Chains A and B, each alone.
Chain A
Amino acid sequence: MSDDTDRRLAAALAAEYERHRADAAAPGGPRARATVTRRRRQAAAAGIAGLVLVVAAGVGLARGSGTPDRLVPATPAVAPATTPPVTPTDTLSEIHAPACGDPAAKYRDRVRIDDVPATSGWTLTGPTARLGDLDRDGRDEYVAFLRCATSGETWLVALTNWNADLAFTGHAHPLGTPGPRGIGVEDDGVVRISSRYTDTLVRWTGDHFVPIG
């Protein structure tokens, strides 16, 4: 490899680097610090919840061991009241792209959206800075793009981390082909979807996204 080719390679890589550096969108140091604070609170809350469960289970065992086992006949008086089952919306079932089939998204732990398997053709983007209280109920939701990489078809989806793990919730919002490039959550919970030239604002109702503005 000649020195000239080496210089050209260095120049080409430097040009690519400068192009990315000039356009880099930094969420900001305060946002990074806030993310860490939020994760610490969530971890602490999970720890406390776990402790409460352990204590409750211990109390239950202690009580159970002190009473004789006996069968109680099932009568209408002691049978549990029937409550209508809550059927969560199967968000992923609403999504299908001919090029990628049905999505098979996964997530890794309570505080981080993981990507779908690379071989599936689906990607789930927006893990670190897209957490916010979208419906102002005091609980944070994640918002992310679910995209068929092959065709570019993109949906906006919401995930909750209210229970033990992240879960898709509500209805997916189709964003067309090709999908937008950026996503953000404003202080008031409004989701900003950035395309090449325009931004679109949507609000999460707790069940679906509604365009605003």
Chain B
Amino acid sequence: MTPAEQRFDEFYTDRFPALAAQIAVYLGDRAEAEDVAQEAFCRAWRHWSAISADPVPWVHTVAYRLATSRWRRLKVALAHRIRTRPQDVPPPDAARLDLMNALAGLPDAQRRAIVLHYLADLSVEQIAAREGVAAGTVKSWLHRGRARLATVLENEGAPK
């Protein structure tokens, strides 16, 4: 194994679970997320000589682009699949499902902003740069997304 292969494998092992998990929250479907993450790492290896100095932002950007593309094509089917197929153990509680359904119901840009902000720890400015929009637009996405998700959380906390 060459040093480049070894470094790539270490990078893969270190980063795959976190990236796949982020994409899973974004798509609401882990199997699709694992496919997207694997494809992103395949493309990273194809360009490894150019990106190996700092591959994390590159592979994250590619993964989110693939996920966004896939989400647009699959959102109807994914919604059906999430409802119809067996869930992993332990069984999901109702509050979690409510939150995930609310997340899945957000417009694409709002959902992506929420995931990037809360799970990828990106600042408003970093998300704006990645999305190619103004920081104010990202703030608006986050505000609206939070407001809709907060409704679910507040209902969950309300006395029955």
Contact = CB atoms under 8 A, between A and B. Distances in A.
A123 B20 contact: no
Question: SS class of chain B's interface: helix, strand, loop or mixed?
Answer: helix
B46 A36 contact: yes
B150 A5 contact: yes
B34 A147 contact: no
Contacts of B21: 17-21, 24
Interface in B123-142: none
B17 to A, nearest CB: 4
Contacts of B146: 1, 6, 9
Interface stretch (A73-81, A156-164, A174-182, A203-211): A174-182
The winner among A8, A16, A25, A122 for most chain B CB atoms within 10 A is A16
Contacts of B5: 29, 33
Given A9-B153, A25-B34, A121 B80 contact: yes
B118 A24 contact: no
Nearest to B20: A24
Contacts, number: 160
Interface stretch (A54-62, A88-96, A111-119, A135-143): A111-119
Contacts of B8: 29, 32-33
A56 to B, nearest CB: 31
Interface in B29-57: 30-35, 37-39, 41-42, 44-46
Interface in B92-121: 95-96, 99-100, 103, 114-115, 118-119
Chain A interface bracket (under 10, 10 to 19, 20 to 34, 35 or more):
35 or more
A118 B76 contact: yes
Interface in A8-63: 8-10, 12-33, 35-36, 39
Interface of B: 5, 8-13, 16-18, 20-22, 24-25, 30-35, 37-39, 41-42, 44-46, 70, 73-78, 80-81, 84-86, 88-89, 95-96, 99-100, 103, 114-115, 118-119, 143, 146-147, 149-150, 153-154, 157
16 contacts: A5-B150, A5-B153, A6-B146, A9-B150, A13-B25, A13-B114, A13-B118, A16-B99, A20-B24, A24-B17, A24-B34, A26-B16, A39-B42, A39-B46, A125-B32, A149-B80
